[in-house]
Structure 1
C-alpha cells in the first residue's frame, strides 16, 4: 500500500514548518506524529511503513523546527528550548484543528517526540483525545544506567564503555553510548546499524539531495541545542493524565529502555495501556509496521465506539 499523503508548509511562530498530510480528509480523526531525535525528521519513513493509517485517519507528520524539510540554521539568539518546540506544536495543532474543523486530535510521539508529547498533553489536555507514545522516554538518567548495563552483557571488553566521561562531557558521552547501543543490536532488533531506515530517504521523491544534507545538518544542530536539556527529563513523578495514554514498546528496546516504560506504565493511575512488540527494538512502527498499524487502528476504533 503506497502513501497518498502530500507535503505542505505553514508559518508557525515565525518559522516555515513542513508536514505531510493525508490527501483523504473528511471527518476522520486526526493523528499528529511527532518525530524523534531531536532532529530526526522522518516523513519518508511514515509514508513507507505507516500509509495504512491514512485509510482510517488524517495522518499528519510534522518536521519540527530546524529539522528535515523544515531545516534552517539555528542561532543562539533564538534561546531555543524544549518549551519552544512544545509551543510550535501548540500553534500547529490550533492551525490543524481550525483548518480541519475539529476540536481535538490524537498525539503520537516517538522517542524525543514522546518528551514533547507528554509535556504537550499536560499543558493542553483539552486539545487531545488520546496520547500514543512509541519508545517512550521516562527518565533519561536512569536510561543511561540501563544502557550501560545492557552493553556490559554484550561487550567482551568494556574499556571503551568505562572511558566515557559523563561528568565533564555528558552530551558527548551519552551520544557515544547510544552509538554503542546501535552497534550491539540494542536499537533495531536483529540489526547492528540503521540501513533499514536509511534507504527510504534515499529513494524518497519528497527529499532532494539538498534535503538529505539538510536532514543531517538538522539532526546535528538539534542535538547540539537540545540534548543537554533532554538529559534532565524525568516523568516518573507524573502518574495521572487527563486523557487516555498508550505506550507502544519494542520488547528489545535498549536505546530508550522499554523496561523503564513498563515500570512507569504500572504506576500510572489514569487510563493507560501498554502494547508490546516482541520482534522490535526502538522502532516498532517501522520494525513491525503491519502489527503496529493494526494495533493503532484497533485501539482507536475501540475508543471511538
Structure 2
C-alpha cells in the first residue's frame, strides 16, 4: 500500500512493468504486462474522462496476458498521471489524441511491431475512434466498448430513458428529483450525482448487477499498482479531468465527423446500458463504411461489458485477432 509495483510474471520471455514515460511533454504512467513480450500489443484507453483502470483490472486481463502484451495507461490528468505538470490548458481532446498516437508509436518501437490492437471504453472510445480515423496505418483492429459519438445527445436520451424508468416503476422520489433538475447539461455537480445515482438504482449504469463499483473499490485497495495516496490522487484526477474536458466532449459529434474507417472495427454494447444508450450508436454503425465491422450485444451488461461479461469480451477479442 505504500510502494508501487506490478506483480511479476514467471515466464522466460515475460514482461511486467509499471513505469512512467514522457508523453506530450509530461510524465504519464503505464503498465505493460504479458507472458511473452513477442506477442502483439493491446492498448486499453480507459473511460471517464479521468477514470483510470490500472488499479482495477488485474484479474480481468490475466487471460489476455497469455496472448498479448497488455498495456494500461493512466491518461494525462488521471490516476498516477494526475500531477502538477498537467495544466488545465492542456486538457483538450486534441492533446489527448496526440498523446494516444505518441504512446502508440512508443509501443510500436519498443516491441518492434508495425501495428497494435486498440480497445476503448466509454470516454476512451472517443480517443480510439479519432486515433483510427487519423492514423489507420498504426492499428490492426479497434474494439469500442460502450461507444460514445455525441455526448450531448447521449445525455439527453439517457435522461429521458431514466425518467421513463422512474415512471414505469412509480418511483416518486426519482420522478420528483429528475423532473426538478431538468434536462442536461447540468452545471451543478449535485444534479450530476442525482442522475448517476438513478442510473445505478435502475441497474443501467456502471453495471447491471449493481455490485461492480464496490468490486472496483475493493480491488483498488488491494492493488499493488496504487499506494494509499494514489487512491486520493485517483479521486482528484477524476474531478480535474471532468471539470476541464466535459464541455469540449459535449461539443463533439463523431457521428458527423467519421463516416468511413479503414481499420476493422468491433463495437461491444451493453443491452441494459442507459449511460450510453446504444440507439444513436446503432444508427451510425449501420451507415458506417468500414473495412470490416461487427456489432455485438452483451445481453447481461450495462455500461461495462468488458468487466460484467469478461469471458465473452476476452473470447471476442481473441476471435477477432486470430483472424488476422
TM-score with structure 1 length normalisation? Answer: 0.92
Deviation per residue, 1:156-183 (Å, 9 max, x gap)? 2322112225578447455642343123
SS of residue in 1 equivalent to 2:21:
strand
Measure the CA separation in 2 of the matches of 1:138 and 1:89: 18
Q: How many residues end up aligned between the 2 structures?
A: 301
Matched, 1:224 2:243: yes
Q: 1:54 aligns with which of 65, 76, 80?
A: 65
CA contact (8 A) 2:155 2:184 kept: no
Contact map agreement 2:152 2:185 (CA 8 A) in 1: no
For structure 2, list consecutive stretches of 5 or more residues without a partner in the other structure. Answer: 1-6, 10-15
CA contact (8 A) 1:171 1:227 kept: no
Q: Given the alignment of the two structures, is residue 296 of structure 1 paired with residue 296 of structure 2, yes or no?
A: no
Which of 201, 206, 209 is equivalent to 2:228? 209
Choose which of 198, 214, 231 in structure 2 pairs with 1:180.
198
With over 3 angstroms needed to count, the CA separation of the structure-2 counterparts of 1:43 and 1:176, relative to structure 1, is same
Aligned to 1:276: 297
C-alpha contact (below 8 Å) 1:161/1:177 kept by paired residues: yes
CA–CA distance in structure 1, aligned partners of residues 121 and 234 of structure 2: 17
What is the root-mean-square deviation in Å for CA atoms of aligned residues? 2.0
Which residue in the other structure is 1:267 paired with? 287
Cα distance in structure 2, aligned partners of 1:164 and 1:9: 42
Query: Contact (CA 8 Å) 1:247, 1:274: kept in 2 or not?
Result: yes
User: Which of 280, 285, 291 lines up with 2:306 in the alignment?
Assistant: 285
TM-score after normalising by structure 2: 0.87
Where do 5+ consecutive residues of structure 1 fail to align?
A: none
3-state SS of paired residue (1:106): strand
Deviation at 1:260, TM superposition (A): 2.6
Change (3 A) 1:9 1:190: same
Which position in structure 2 is the counterpart of 1:75?
A: 87
Moved more, 291-300 or 188-197: 188-197
